[in-house]
């Protein structure tokens, strides 16, 4: 699977070249022209890495980055900064970023840095692999095998059921944000996907009936919470 890149750059020339070049190098690129468009794109889809120009009309890259970080602390961000900016100012702005490039830069160097960052985060993901099997209350859950074993029966889960249940078990007693779950599983937070998710919530609630100490509560307007009653 190609890694997905969100490129937000107001200079159409540079934007095109970046998008073109990284596309040829095996990335699935999305190009947006300003911070606002970039924000919407990020809300709608999931990306593996963002490349944000700092100076842009409507919404600058730094503001956009803060917005992104408010919902997502993972996705790596690389800033593009103008040569004219002073080093120490750049430092200030790019705190929290994973890297930054000063214009003009070589495409090859940008590519190398992207690859380096993605390598790191792929490694992280693998380390943070979900335990298999995972025990909770009276249940045994095998994420790798799409399987949930309850005291009464063994359930083979479908792909969507499995992904959703995993998110709940990763967040026991914590609120799972609707939109976060939608983006993770359905890749897109839209009306119909949200309704689809509601259907799956019902299915999972049925599966958990066997174990009275586990319940999925609705946090109206926010999401759901799997609570473990002791």
Partner DNA sequence: AATCCTTGTTAAAAATGGTTAAACACAAAC
Partner DNA sequence: GTTTGTGTTTAACCATTTTTAACAAGGATT
Of 55, 194, 207, 210, the one binding DNA (CB under 7 A) is 194
Which one, 74 or 198, has the nearer CB to DNA? 198
Q: How many residues does the chain have?
A: 230
Query: What one-character-per-residue DSSP string does 81-142 give?
Result: E-TTS-HHHHHHHHTT-SEEEESS--HHHHHHHHHHHHHHHHHHHHHTPPPSSEEETTEEEE
Token match 């859950």: residue?
141
> Cβ neighbours of residue 167 under 8 Å, at least 6 residues apart?
176, 181, 184, 185
Q: Which residue stretch of 15-23, 32-40, 50-58, 113-121 sits at the interface with a copy of itself (rule: CB under 8 A)?
A: 15-23
The pattern of x and - marking residues 90 through 129 that bind a copy of itself according to CB under 8 A reads --x--xx----------x----------------------
Residue 124 is encoded by which pair of tokens?
């992280």
Question: Any bridge partners for residue 147, and if so which?
Answer: 142, 156
Judge whether 130 and 138 are in contact, CB under 8 Å: no
> Which partner from the list DNA, a copy of itself, none does 205 bind, CB cut-off 5 to 8 Å by kind?
DNA
Of 104, 128, 173, 195, the one binding a copy of itself (CB under 8 A) is 173
Q: Does 154 bind a copy of itself (CB under 8 A)?
A: no
Of 40, 66, 123, 152, the one binding a copy of itself (CB under 8 A) is 66
Q: In what order do the strands lie in the sheet with 28-32?
A: 28-32, 4-8, 49-53, 77-81, 99-102
Q: Does 109 bind DNA (CB under 7 A)?
A: no
Of 19, 178, 181, 214, the one binding DNA (CB under 7 A) is 178
Q: Does 227 bind DNA (CB under 7 A)?
A: no
Minimum CB separation from a copy of itself for residue 193, in Å? Answer: 13
Residue 56 is encoded by which pair of tokens?
């842009």
Number of residues this chain uses to bind a copy of itself (CB under 8 A):
34
Which one, 144 or 152, has the nearer CB to a copy of itself? 144
Rounded CA separation 32/24 (Å)? 18
- End-to-end Cα distance, the chain: 42
Summarize as ranges the residues that interact with a copy of itself (CB under 8 A). 1, 17, 20-21, 23-26, 65-66, 69, 73, 92, 95-96, 107, 144-146, 158-160, 173, 177, 180, 215, 217-222, 227, 229
Summarize as ranges the residues that interact with DNA (CB under 7 A). 156, 158-161, 178, 186, 192-196, 198-202, 205, 218, 220-223
């Amino acid at each position: 699977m190609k890694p997905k890149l969100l490129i937000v750059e107001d200079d159409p020339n540079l934007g095109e070249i970046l998008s073109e070049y990284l596309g040829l190098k095996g990335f699935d690129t999305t190009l947006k022209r300003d911070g606002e468009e970039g924000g919407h794109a990020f809300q709608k889809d999931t990306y593996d890495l963002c490349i944000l120009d700092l100076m842009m009309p409507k919404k600058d890259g730094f503001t956009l980055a803060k917005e992104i970080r408010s919902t997502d602390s993972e996705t790596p961000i690389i800033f593009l900064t103008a040569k004219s900016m002073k080093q120490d100012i750049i430092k200030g702005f790019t705190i929290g970023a994973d890297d930054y490039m000063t214009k003009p830069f070589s495409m090859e160097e940008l590519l190398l840095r992207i690859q380096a960052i993605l390598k790191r985060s792929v490694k992280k993901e693998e380390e943070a692999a979900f335990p298999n099997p995972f025990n909770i209350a009276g249940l045994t859950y095998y994420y790798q095998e799409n399987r949930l074993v309850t005291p009464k029966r063994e359930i083979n889960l479908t792909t969507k059921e499995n992904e959703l249940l995993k998110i709940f078990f990763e967040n026991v007693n914590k609120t799972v944000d609707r939109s976060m779950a939608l983006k993770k599983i359905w890749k897109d937070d839209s009306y119909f996907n949200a309704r689809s998710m509601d259907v799956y919530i019902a299915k999972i609630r049925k599966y958990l009936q066997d174990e009275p100490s586990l319940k999925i509560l609705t946090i109206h307007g926010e999401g759901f919470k799997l609570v473990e009653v002791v």
